[in-house]
Amino acid sequence: MLDIRLIREQPDFVKSRLATRGGEDAAKIDEVLRVDAERRKTETVLQQCNADRKRLSKEIGAKRATGEATEEIEARVREIGEEVARLNEQTSAADEQQRELLLGIPNLPHANVPAGKDANDNPVVRSWGEKPELKDPLDHVALGTKLKLFDLERAAKLSGSGFICFTGPGARLERALIQFMLDLHTREHGYLEMSPPFLVRRECMIGTTQLPKFEEDMYGLEEQQLFLAPTAEVPVTNYHREEILAASELPKKFVAYTPCFRREAGSAGRETRGILRVHQFDKVELVKITTPETSYAEHESLTADAERVLQLLGLHYRLIELCTGDLGFGSAKTYDLEVWSPGQNAYLEVSSCSNFEEFQASRMNLRFKDADGKNRFCHTLNGSGLALPRLFAALIETYQRADGSIAIPEKLQPYFGADEIR
């Protein structure tokens, strides 16, 4: 979350950066400042009361030593004690109110993020490869049904709409893609593999900004104190929460596969057909914990690591930069990777690579000790490396053949165990 000191010292700057996101977040700053002023005023009175009580307690001791009466002073100390208790409650309430307000305010966009209102203003940074030339390509639903790669009807019978049951070669292809990506990121890109729990505590969800803003989209258990992980970002980024790391340990680079669970699966329309937007999906996630000085260089390399998956699979894609109005709640800067889907005749997002700067770290109290011995907040980054099943859909659509079979990219063949699906 935003540093209250920055808001106090540069409120106009904070408001101006928030205004580039659109919405009413800038207006919340005045309320934060009002609560902060009241809280600090109460703390000043509390400090004075504690000082008075300490002074009077010493006076009582001195008078008792000389046999003087202390009843009147003792009564005053009791009054101050009652006032201190009241002020402590007031301060705690103000602290909680201020924290709740800060948790509802998004991160400031980085200065070089392009200004814009929505996704229509996102510039294309670069593209790779060419769109495949296919005559009347089938979409992934037709291909998957014909080759029995997944069964959506029976998945709905099991769990309701918005779920997938991969079958036969489809299940094998899903597994092959996950294994291929994990091996690539650990063996060639230097990430440490993790296999984290799929259930995460409420404070971890707050730490990575899913809560409180997006609580309605999450699957909560135990009276909303435990959640099905919406992404491996949550357990992996929180792995070092409430710790102080040595600067020599940074950057830390983690990769993890998890299923991801999200209630919100999109409004009715083309994206809800098939497997493009679902309540449960597989994803390989990349996470970095860095120093502020290196985080933007690490952001570029993390994005390149995600791009490498698409390049090795021979899939045409483009990289876009999110404008201020399209940034995620906690992000200071984000690149999206969009793979070409011949069956949809459109690009599909398969990765969102973000630098959160210290926004998440401050929520989870994740710090490092710098060369001067000062404890500072780390910067955190993450990105899909990559997300399924949109990658699955784009791959089978891109590699479909006129005879109805699907070729398997060369790099994936050792994992899949064959060079085609027929």
Identified catalytic residue from 295, 341, 352, 384 = 352
Residue at a domain's end among 77, 103, 129: 103
Q: Mean pLDDT throughout 201-206?
A: 98
Dig out the tokens for 49 from the structure: 């009361």
Say if residue 148 is in the same domain as residue 76. no
Q: Which of 241, 349, 376, 405 is catalytic?
A: 349
Q: What is the pLDDT of residue 270?
A: 47
Same domain, 89 and 151: no
What mean pLDDT, rounded, does the chain reach?
Answer: 95
Same domain, 334 and 376: yes
**Does 111 map to a domain?**
no
DSSP 225: T
Residue 113 belongs to some domain of the structure: no
Clarify whether 5 is annotated catalytic: no
CA distance 150 to 170: 6
Q: From CA 389, how far away is CA 41, in angstroms rounded?
A: 54
Q: 139 and 83, same structural domain?
A: no
Cα three-residue angle 57-61-64, rounded to 5 degrees:
135
Reply yes or no on whether the pLDDT at 252 is more than 60: yes
Which residue range is the domain that position 180 belongs to? Answer: 119-421
Residue 114 lies in a domain: no
Q: Are 400 and 348 found together in one domain?
A: yes
* Range 173-179 average pLDDT: 98
Question: Does the annotation count 262 as an active-site position?
Answer: yes
Is residue 265's pLDDT more than 90?
Answer: no
Local confidence band at 186 (pLDDT 50, 70, 90 cut-offs): very high
378 and 256 in a single domain? The answer is yes
* Per-residue exposure over 372-384, b if at least 16 CB sit within 10 Å of its own CB, e if not: eeeebbbbbbbbb
| 267, pLDDT greater than 50 | no
Whether a cis peptide bond, with omega within 30° of 0, leads into 114 is no
Instruction: Say which CATH number the domain at 99 has.
Output: 1.10.287.40
pLDDT value at position 68? Answer: 87
pLDDT at 229 over 60: yes
Q: How far is CA 300 from the centre of its chain?
A: 17
Residue 268 pLDDT > 70: no
In this structure, is residue 298 part of a structural domain?
Answer: yes
**Cα separation, 199 vs 220, whole angstroms:** 9
Listed in sequence order, the DSSP H helices in 148-294 are: 152-159, 168-183, 202-207, 233-237
Given 277, 321, 331, 397, which residue is catalytic? 277
Name the residue among 80, 74, 45, 47 with its Cα closest to residue 59.
74
Q: What is the pLDDT of residues 8-50, one digit of tens each?
A: 999 999 999 999 999 889 889 999 999 999 999 999 999 999 9
Known catalytic membership, residue 17? no
Residue 342 belongs to a domain: yes
Mean pLDDT of the region 261-289: 82
Three-class DSSP category at 170: helix
Q: Are residues 96 and 131 in the same domain?
A: no
Q: Would you say 319 and 134 are in contact if contact means Cβ atoms under 8 Å apart?
A: no
More confident residue, 73 or 189: 189
Q: Does residue 92 sit in the same domain as residue 189? A: no
pLDDT at 376 over 70: yes
Please check whether residue 36 lies inside any domain of the structure. yes
The encoded tokens of residue 86 equal 């009241």
Same domain, 50 and 195: no
Q: In what order do the strands lie in the sheet with 317-321?
A: 124-128, 317-321, 333-341, 346-355, 379-387, 280-290, 252-261, 192-194
pTM higher than 0.85, yes or no? yes
Condensed to tens digits (0 to 9), the pLDDT of residues 56-66 reads: 989 889 989 98
Residue 277 a catalytic site member: yes
Of 24, 203, 1, 215, the closest CA to residue 102 belongs to 1
Q: pLDDT at position 8, please? A: 96
Residue at a domain's end among 70, 103, 136:
103
In angstroms, the first-to-last Cα distance of the chain is: 51
Report the distance separating Cα 172 and Cα 413, nearest Å.
Answer: 11
Rounded Cα gap, residues 23 and 1, in angstroms: 18
Same domain, 20 and 85: yes
Asked which of 49, 68, 103 is the last residue of a domain, the reply is: 103
Residue 234 lies in a domain: yes
Q: Which of 66-75, 110-119, 241-250, 329-338 has the lowest mean pLDDT?
A: 66-75
Q: Looking up tokens 């580039």, which residue turns up?
A: 20
Tell me the mean pLDDT in the region 322-346.
98
Structure token pair of residue 32: 């934060």
187 is catalytic: no
Other beta carbons less than 10 A from residue 227's beta carbon:
23
Q: Are residues 84 and 190 in the same domain?
A: no
Which two tokens mark 67? 């046999």
Do 249 and 358 fall into the same domain?
A: yes
Q: For residues 7 and 32, is the Cβ–Cβ distance under 8 A?
A: yes
Domain count, the chain: 2
Look up the CATH number of the domain holding residue 381: 3.30.930.10
pLDDT (mean) for 358-377: 97
Distances (CA, A) of 265 to 245, 274, 348: 38, 12, 15
Task: Return d(Cα 370, Cα 367) in angstroms, integer.
Answer: 9
Instruction: Say if residue 236's pLDDT is above 90.
Output: yes
Q: What is the pLDDT of residue 271?
A: 55
- Rounded to an integer, what distance in angstroms lies between the CA atom of residue 111 and that of residue 106? 15
Q: Of these residues, 21, 39, 262, 367, which one is catalytic?
A: 262
Q: What is the pLDDT of residues 296-306, one digit of tens each?
A: 999 999 999 99
Give the integer Cα–Cα distance in Å for 196 and 305: 21
CA 220, CA 228: separation in Å to the nearest integer?
7
Whether residue 104 contacts residue 213, with contact meaning beta carbons closer than 8 Å, is answered with yes
Q: Give the pLDDT of residue 266.
A: 53
Please say if the pLDDT value at position 273 is more than 80: no
Output the CA torsion 327→328→330→335 (10° steps): -60
Interatomic CA distance for residues 19 and 375, integer angstroms: 31
What mean pLDDT do residues 81-98 have?
Answer: 92
Judge whether 295 lies within some domain: yes
What is the per-residue pLDDT for 272?
61
- Residue 230: pLDDT over 90: yes
